[in-house]
């Protein structure tokens, strides 16, 4: 097993010829969280002697930042995936994306009006509290995925390469942000905005967040009918116990801990294997 975070290091390792499976990973903190053994690290442990990973993930990245056609990141991706001068001449064996969560929480949730304020909610609960702006944002993320998937399918080097992504796991809204030991550097990404911006009572927040994550998963999974080498692993329920989030599997409000990421990785591999898309 070896992991590179830049192209030069990846090519150096690839030229050594010791690795059987070339994997490209691009995404957010679920594949690049510095304080836990994240999804990337858990995948490495499945076959540690044989994976060669190029992990381009960055904490905080949105799907828009990664996939937008005018952005620098998607241009780098397209060079890697479509041009043998920049990417592996025989292509990648597997591509893993982890992106979209930051498009619907954090500052976007705060400023873009994704939820009907409680003062205007009336009898609305759960998914009925989500606005057209939220649906438009989810569709925007799905279209970004569609764009890169079309490019991959039409590329000379990676047209047959499996592409796997995931939904995000149901989480308990709570003011628990990034922390290192006893030190905390934020108060979360979801609950504080449901409280302070939208005024949603605590007892209705979990169902609302589940509805948000359901809409996200459903929008991406519809793309599976367009791209037969694409899978959206359903990881929404893998961190539940008795129907509720098991907080022993979470590092903070939106990130699993190492044990939690292990469960996510196992679900991803299992579902991809069932569909014939996992590569060992």
pLDDT, residue 48, reads 56
Which whole number is the average pLDDT over 10-36?
86
User: Residue 230: is its pLDDT beyond 80?
Assistant: yes
User: CA distances (Å), 248 to each of 49, 171, 172, 175, 239, in order?
Assistant: 30, 12, 12, 16, 9
Least confident stretch, 17-21, 137-141, 223-227, 244-248: 17-21
Q: Residue 240: which pLDDT band, with cuts at 50, 70 and 90?
A: very high
pLDDT, residue 32, reads 93
Burial of 136: CB neighbours in 10 Å, binned 0-12, 13-18, 19+: exposed
pLDDT, residue 258, reads 96
User: Residue 185: is its pLDDT beyond 80?
Assistant: no
Which whole number is the average pLDDT over 12-17?
77
Mean pLDDT of the chain, nearest integer: 93
126, β-bridge pairs: none
Half-sphere exposure at residue 274, Cβ-oriented, CA atoms within 13 angstroms: 10
Element (H, E) at 8: helix 7-16
Which whole number is the average pLDDT over 209-228?
98
∠ CA 192-194-199, nearest 5°, is 110
Which whole number is the average pLDDT over 260-267?
98
């Amino acid at each position: 097993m070896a992991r590179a975070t830049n192209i030069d290091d990846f090519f150096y390792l690839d030229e050594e010829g010791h690795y059987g499976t070339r994997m490209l990973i691009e995404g957010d903190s679920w594949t690049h969280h510095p304080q836990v053994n994240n999804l990337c690290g858990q995948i490495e442990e499945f076959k540690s002697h044989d994976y060669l990973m190029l992990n381009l993930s960055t904490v905080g990245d949105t799907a828009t930042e990664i996939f937008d056609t005018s952005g620098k990141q998607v241009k780098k991706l397209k060079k890697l995936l479509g041009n043998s001068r920049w990417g592996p001449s025989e292509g990648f064996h597997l591509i893993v994306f982890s992106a979209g969560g930051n498009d619907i929480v954090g500052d976007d949730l705060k400023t873009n009006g994704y939820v009907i304020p409680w003062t205007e909610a009336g009898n609305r609960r759960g998914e009925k509290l989500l606005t057209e702006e939220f649906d438009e944002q989810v569709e925007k993320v799905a279209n970004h995925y569609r764009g890169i998937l079309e490019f991959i399918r039409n590329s000379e080097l990676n047209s047959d390469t499996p592409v796997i992504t995931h939904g995000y796991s149901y989480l308990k809204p709570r003011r628990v942000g990034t922390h290192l030991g006893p030190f905390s550097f934020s108060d979360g990404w979801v609950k504080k905005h449901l409280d302070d911006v939208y005024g949603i009572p605590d007892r209705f927040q979990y169902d609302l967040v589940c509805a948000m994550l359901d809409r996200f998963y459903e929008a991406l999974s519809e793309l599976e009918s367009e791209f037969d080498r694409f899978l959206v692993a359903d990881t929404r329920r893998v961190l539940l116990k008795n129907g509720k989030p098991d907080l022993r599997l979470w590092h903070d409000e939106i990130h699993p801990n190492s044990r939690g990421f292990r469960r996510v990785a196992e679900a991803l591999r299992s579902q991809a294997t069932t569909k014939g898309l996992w590569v060992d």
